[in-house]
Amino acid sequence: MFSPDDVFLRDMQNNTTVLISATAISPTTSANARSATGIWLNPSGRMVSDNGRFVVFNSVGSNLFARTGVSAPPAGSMQTYVRDTVLNTTEAVTINPAGTLFGDAGVEYEYGPGTAGPQIQHGSPTISAAGETVAFVSIANNLVVSPSAVTSGDVFLRRWTMNVNPTPPTTPTQPTTPTQPAPTTQPGATTPTTPTTVPGTTPTTQGPAQQAGPNGYWMASDNGQVYGFGSAAGTAQAAFAPAGTVSDIEVLPGGGYYLLEANGRVSRNGGAQVAAALSLNAGETAAAISITPSGNGYWIFTNRGRVFEAGDAVKRGDMSATVLNGPILDSVSTPTGAGYYMVASDGGVFAFGDARFAGSMGGKQLNQPVQSLVPTATNGGYWLVAADGGIFAFGDAGFVGSIPGVLAAGQSLNAPITGMVRYGNGYLMVATDGGIFSFSNRPFFGSLGGQAIPRPIVAVAPAP
């Protein structure tokens, strides 16, 4: 049963409506209490984050938020909340610095039609574009350490780590149906230009005319050896005895690359150390690195979903408070650098900042674990690739081919796919034996498939 004051969010593209003022225990159950979005209090304020994921609203309900050690809000007091429509969780905004008490009783300056003066407690909330910061008005005395008393409606700013859930879901709650037909059976799949690790497979199409884009690529092995092809040939280096196992390679905007080690250490072009090892928990490893568009910062993502930022990289949230069904294997920033995606081995996708969630394989049966995520240039979709080379396309990501779609019956890869990057109008995959598979309009420049290499390949990066 819904209340006349419930808050809803309407998705105009998908024609769906979700309840925002839901209880802490059920995303479809109304809190049955007076709520307000604040739109008529502050018409110029942003109530919804740019990606449509976070919604800020006010409510006098006492059952919207639940966390061990947090007392209930004062009876009848209006508090401010943010609803995460992806994880179906609600975060309290008007809460003290220790995260244990709601704002104490007070009044907020609400002057609406027919009102005679101050009436409720909190109001006029405005959420940031990424959804991690809320500005609001309150006279509560316990929201900040100083001043100790607030006698008139002051403006406060609340910033938090997103995805801190009172009851973390063990299964991703995002819709999981792909927007494309099953990739392994889709007719008309484009064959890779030279799948060198599949004996007897010859390219049958070369794709559209060549366009501007990467003209080569690097691949990195777990001992730090980097191999270059095309425009990257001659810029690679031999193994440099890293302090830990190398887990990722990422291209710098001005040329060159960073190598990430599983202990969090970062080096440039396999040489000078950029950052020392991180302080990681037992069993936690640095899984991926993504560089900001300026090249002056980067994010490091761990298999537990933690995020470490450096330079001009801004942390937009992480999954550290959530029990994941599978480890995070890949993470990548959006084209703008104002957000990022994480993907887990079970195909769960987690979007932060201006990253747009378009679907996932979480909760679906997979033949092989998902290894990598590649967003489209428009940030309107992404591809997921599994270890067998199967592709799952979401949003505006067009399906342009997969490994199972070009293999003969009973044929399989010599080695599993371990990474994928955007390449031309499609994507480029790499296998652990150094095989390269190009599903795009960009040229194939060679691979290590069929050669004896000392250590397995862990990642690939397109050369500028």
Let me know whether 226 and 333 are in one domain: yes
Looking at the structure, do residues 161 and 189 belong to the same domain, yes or no?
Answer: no
* pLDDT confidence of residue 157: 80
> Is residue 174 a part of any domain in this protein?
no
> What single string gives the DSSP state of each residue in 256-276?
-EEEEETTS-EEETTSSEEEP
* Tens digits of residue pLDDT in 23-36: 665 666 665 555 54
Same domain, 341 and 214: yes
Q: How confident is the model at residue 249 (pLDDT cuts 50, 70, 90)?
A: very high
pLDDT digits (tens, 9 = 90+) for 54-85: 888 887 777 777 665 677 777 777 788 888 77
173 in a structural domain: no
Position with higher pLDDT, 115 vs 250: 250
Task: Clarify whether residues 206 and 103 are in a common domain.
Answer: no
Mean pLDDT of 5-13: 75
Same domain? 233 vs 323: yes
Share of the chain above pLDDT 70, in %: 69
Instruction: Identify the residue with better confidence: 448 or 115.
Output: 448
| Residue 388 domain-assigned (yes or no) | yes
Residues 208 and 315 in one domain: yes
**CA 38/CA 47 separation, integer angstroms:** 8
Residue 52 forms part of a structural domain: yes
**Tokens coding 142:** 């316990």
On whether the CB atoms of residues 73 and 62 are closer than 8 A, the answer is yes
Phi, psi of 183 (to 5 degrees): -65, -30
Identify whether residues 456 and 429 lie together within a single domain. Answer: yes
Q: Is 370 helix (H, G, I), strand (E, B) or coil?
A: strand
Residue 306 tokens, joined = 């933690």
Asked if 59 contacts 21 with a C-beta cutoff of 8 angstroms, the reply is yes
Cα distances (Å, whole numbers) of residue 68 to 165, 166, 267:
11, 8, 42
Residue 442 above 50 pLDDT?
yes
Rounded Cα distance, 19 and 88, in Å: 10
pTM, two decimals, is: 0.59
Q: Are residues 122 and 195 in the same domain?
A: no
State the chain's mean pLDDT as an integer.
Answer: 76
If asked whether residues 246 and 153 sit together in one domain, one would say: no
My answer on whether 314 and 389 are in the same domain is yes
**What is the DSSP secondary structure assignment for residue 453, as one 8-state letter?**
-
Instruction: Say whether pLDDT at 450 is over 60.
Output: yes
Same domain for 438 and 326:
yes
Q: What is the CATH number of the domain that holds 379?
A: 2.120.10.30
Q: What token pair was written down for 365?
A: 């049966």
Residue that is last in its domain, among 137, 167, 197: 167
Helix and strand element counts for the chain (H, E): 0, 28
| Domain tally, the chain | 2
Look-up of token digits 């550290």: 320
Whether 177 maps to a domain, the answer reads: no
Residue 140: what pLDDT?
76
Q: Are residues 128 and 223 in the same domain?
A: no
Tell me, yes or no, whether 176 lies in a domain. Answer: no
Last residue of a domain, one of 143, 167, 191: 167
Residue 183 has pLDDT above 50, yes or no: no
**Which domain range does residue 458 map to?**
183-462
Q: Extract the tokens encoding 326.
A: 């599978």
